[in-house]
Amino acid sequence: MTDKLIIFDTTLRDGEQSPGASMTKDEKIRIAKALEKLRVDVIEAGFPIASLGDFEAVQAVANTIKDSTVCGLARALEKDIDRAGDALKGAASARIHTFIATSPIHMQEKLCMSPDQVLEQAVKAVKHARQYTDNVEFSPEDAGRSEIDFLCRIIEATIDAGAGTINIPDTVGYTLPEYFGHLIAELRERIPNSDKAIFSVHCHNDLGLAVANSLSAVINGARQVECTINGLGERAGNAALEEVVMAVRTRHDIFPCHTDLETTQIVTCSRLVSNITGFPVQPNKAIVGTNAFAHEAGIHQDGVLKHRQTYEIMKAEDVGWHANRMVLGKHSGRNAFRNHLQGLGIEFNSEEELNVAFTRFKELADKKHEIFNEDLQALVTDALTIVHEQIKLVALRVCSEMGETPHASVTLNINGIENSVSAKGSGPVDATFKAIETLVNSNMNLLVYSVNNVTNGTDAQGEVGVRLEKEGQIVNGQGADTDIVIASAKAYLNALNKILNPVERKHPQVVQPV
């Protein structure tokens, strides 16, 4: 028998803090359902005090998810904790995660508090959180740069106050694996009541070591890892859930623990998060990249054909990779379409959403001979974005030929009124964007333009991601189509619609003394 390693997913909270990755309430619910199907133990749904939108999203996830614990983040302030408690009232299993910084630089420069004041506030916060739930987690923020003696004091005190989970965050990605593992071991050894709490880790990837640091901590006794799908997160991101889980599973000779995750859902979750946030997965990304199980070198191909384990340490099928051909076609009915998507963990909130997605499916079936589950993920995400759009693409005509300046004619429906315009550009996409800007006049700056194929083949859908910026506000947009120029127009409009319907979200970081 081995210990259970608790998987704490913070894609909906820390992952959402990536610039441009803000999610709507419905998008958070879609991801939360996928995480539940993945059998994630704890889902950190958001930061309820941050905004009304975040509160409502956490509340909606708490009311929807039944098989995973739903967690809300709160600073070590009573108002934060009360807000989190209110948001989590409907949860089948709830956790409040409260935190305060403990490193000298944070206490002196950010909090303007003494260590004794920080300790007192942490204890008060944990006790207050216990009024709402017995499942309380405490994090000494920036523990990776905190003094070990003070960490021992504050952790011992918060465990006595009722914290059942103690999370050790490497908030700025500063530590190294050997040091971080030693830190976990030393804390567990020195703190008298350490056996009364589960030790957790939350590592950032600023030096590319988030997964390595997390695994070093697990070897040294940590039994919860906080991570995100695709390693999404602030700055360089967090430890990637898929890498942590598969490392523990693959190297069971090293790790004295196991997870309860349904790993065949990993790729589905990865694609869903990528589609919703507009953050593409790099092809050589471990586990979920399109090249993760691909072999091109002749020696490798020969070895795999003779015995898979010569060059593969995992089965692609174990994480959800498979050539799953869609048996539905253009003659398939709405119920068959709905049932197939439910099998992928995709559900619709209204008949209108189903009808829009079904119409898009029929259009795709006329264009593309083979439809794969990856096509459906992209199609549904693309379809759901247009239900509440203020700006809709009605028509697009592009002319591009050698020796001539490309031009595009675009017709948009803006709040029920159609307008058309033509524009020239250095290429068909540039001309299309300039035509859209002529009608919308958003004055946004295009920071990122990326194109990825959803599946293989010349008839594959192209998935376009754009990142727009204006006066410090950053949004991502995404669109998919077998025509890459149309996909580009969809992505640009998707981003513009997010500007018109912004997700209200603030992440307060400065805690004032109380």
State the pairing for strand pair 407-414/417-424. antiparallel
Q: What's the count of helices (H) and strands (E) in the chain, helices before strands?
A: 16, 16
User: What tokens does 126 get?
Assistant: 């944990």
State the pairing for strand pair 407-414/3-4. unpaired
Do residues 165 and 136 touch, judged by C-beta distance below 8 A? yes
Task: Kindly report, residue by residue over 381-423, the tens digit of the pLDDT.
Answer: 777 766 568 899 999 999 999 999 999 999 999 989 999 999 9
What is the CATH architecture of 391-500? 2-Layer Sandwich (3.30)
The DSSP symbol for 513 reads P
Do residues 218 and 255 touch, judged by C-beta distance below 8 A? yes
Task: Kindly report, residue by residue over 219-233, the tens digit of the pLDDT.
Answer: 999 999 999 999 999
Residue boundaries of the structural domains of the chain: 3-277, 293-322, 334-385, 391-500
Distance CA 419, CA 421 (A): 7
State the pairing for strand pair 224-227/198-203. parallel
Mean pLDDT calculated for residue range 31-37 = 96
Do residues 380 and 364 touch, judged by C-beta distance below 8 A? no
Do residues 74 and 509 touch, judged by C-beta distance below 8 A? no
Mean pLDDT calculated for residue range 476-504 = 87
What is the CATH architecture of 3-277? Alpha-Beta Barrel (3.20)
Helix (H) or strand (E) holding 297, with range, is none
Which is higher by pLDDT, 93 or 315? 93
441 by Cβ neighbours in 10 Å (0-12 / 13-18 / 19+) ranks as exposed
Task: Kindly report, residue by residue over 268-286, the tens digit of the pLDDT.
Answer: 999 899 988 888 888 889 9
Q: Structure pTM?
A: 0.84
- The confidence score (pLDDT) of residue 511 equals 44
Task: Kindly report, residue by residue over 123-134, the tens digit of the pLDDT.
Answer: 999 999 999 999
Distance CA 62, CA 32 (A): 10
Task: Kindly report, residue by residue over 235-263, the tens digit of the pLDDT.
Answer: 999 999 999 999 999 999 999 999 999 99
Q: Answer whether residue 191 shows pLDDT above 70.
A: yes
